[in-house]
Each structure stands twice: as structure tokens, then as C-alpha cells.
Amino acid sequence: MKNLGILLSGRGSNFEAIANHVAAGKIPGARIAVVISNKPDAGGLTTAKKLGLTVLAIPSKGLAREEHDRAVVAALKEHKVDLVCLAGYMRLLSPWFVQQFPRRILNIHPSLLPAFPGLEAQEQAFAYGVKVSGCTVHFVDEELDHGPIIVQKAVTVLDSDDEHTLAARILEQEHIAYSEAIRIVLEGKYQVVGRKLVRAVTAK
């Protein structure tokens, strides 16, 4: 069994999709060991409690980045987490945190990176007038929204869209993409060559 550690700050719909997929056996060999939020009132924590998962609030308010990161990493290690999944975790990780889990931290971002990193990516893409956007699941490195890409899903921008309808369709794809990426990483049949994740060719 591989232990997932989920970090979130808000409503937690990506976490919920992962939890549903784990419960349905769609991420073989995975269990959610702990769900941690830096925001004690995050909706995702309430959902996680209802699901009977181990839940921790580690408030970041008033703490220096690395001090908070040390508390989070200690909790992840205590719960023997193999893979850290950032799911709407609104904190930049310190380089020290990243080094504690080399190639073992994933993030989801609501754009086709490297376009539109940072906050409100769907709004940025919509305002720019792109015809295609989507979402990206990537390994976390020391730069924001930057590490090697594991899965991307494209979403066509419709003439009838506003930023909310576009964000909603991107979110549907996020809920599929994250579990797909976790499966790929846990299965381990890939190499990262430079920035590229290259999957092993399986015989048909």
C-alpha cells in the first residue's frame, strides 16, 4: 500500500474526487493516510472528516514559511506518506519541503502550463482570449507551477463561455486528471528525462 498525503486550503473538490477514486479501487494500491489543511475552516477538511479520514489542521497564519513547512512535513512523515498531493493548497512550498519528498509531490493547476501560472489561471486564460485551455498535473519543484508535467487535459473555450463556465469545465477535467497522474506515478513505469515524463512502452 502507498500512503497519500493530501494538502488543501479550500473546498477540496479535487481531494474528494481522489478519495472517491481510491474508494472505488480506481487507484490501485493507494490509501489516503492523512488530509492536512493550513486553513482550519477549509471545506475539504469537513468532507475528509465525514469520510472518516485522518484530518489535521496546521494553521499557517503568523508562522514563517519554513516553520510551518516543518510542522507539515513532520505530520506527513509521522503518517508515513509516500506521495504528497497538493489539491488547492494555497501555499508556496519552501525548497526544504520540496527536498524532503524528491519527485514525490504533485500539484494540479487549472491551465495548460506553462501558460498562465499563478492565481486565477482560468480567469487569466479567459481574459487573454485563448481558444483552448485545460489543466495540468505536474511534479512540484522549487519554482511555482513549474515541475515536469505528468498529465494535461485540454478544454475548448466556447463562444458562450464566461470565466465561470470555463472554470467549471476545467474542474471536471481536473477531477479526472489528478487520479490518472497518481496512478501513473504509483505504478512507477516512467522515467523523467529532463523535463519530460516518458512512460515505459508496454507490449500489446
Q: Which residues are catalytic?
A: 109
Q: Does 147 bind ligand GRF (CB under 6 A)?
A: no
Which positions from 86 through 125 interact with ligand GRF, judged by CB under 6 A? 87-88, 108-110
Q: Does 11 bind ligand GRF (CB under 6 A)?
A: yes
Candidate ranges 12-20, 29-37, 54-62, 147-155; the one touching ligand GRF (CB under 6 A):
12-20
Q: Peptide bond preceding 110: is omega within 30 degrees of 0, i.e. cis? A: no
Contact in structure between 8 and 37 (CB atoms under 8 Å): yes
Count residues contacting ligand GRF (CB under 6 A)?
Answer: 14
Query: Residue with CB nearest ligand GRF?
Result: 88
Which positions from 157 through 176 interact with ligand GRF, judged by CB under 6 A? 171, 174
Nearest approach in angstroms of CB 63 to ligand GRF is 21
Q: Among 114, 121, 175, which Cα is nearest to 148's?
A: 114
- Beta bridge pairs of residue 56: 36
- Beta bridge pairs of residue 8: 37
Candidate ranges 9-17, 27-35, 62-70, 186-194; the one touching ligand GRF (CB under 6 A):
9-17
- Give CA angle at 143 (38, 7), nearest 5°: 25
Cα 139 from Cα 148, distance rounded (Å): 5
Cα 186 from Cα 184, distance rounded (Å): 6
Residues that bind ligand GRF (CB under 6 A): 8, 10-14, 44, 87-88, 108-110, 171, 174
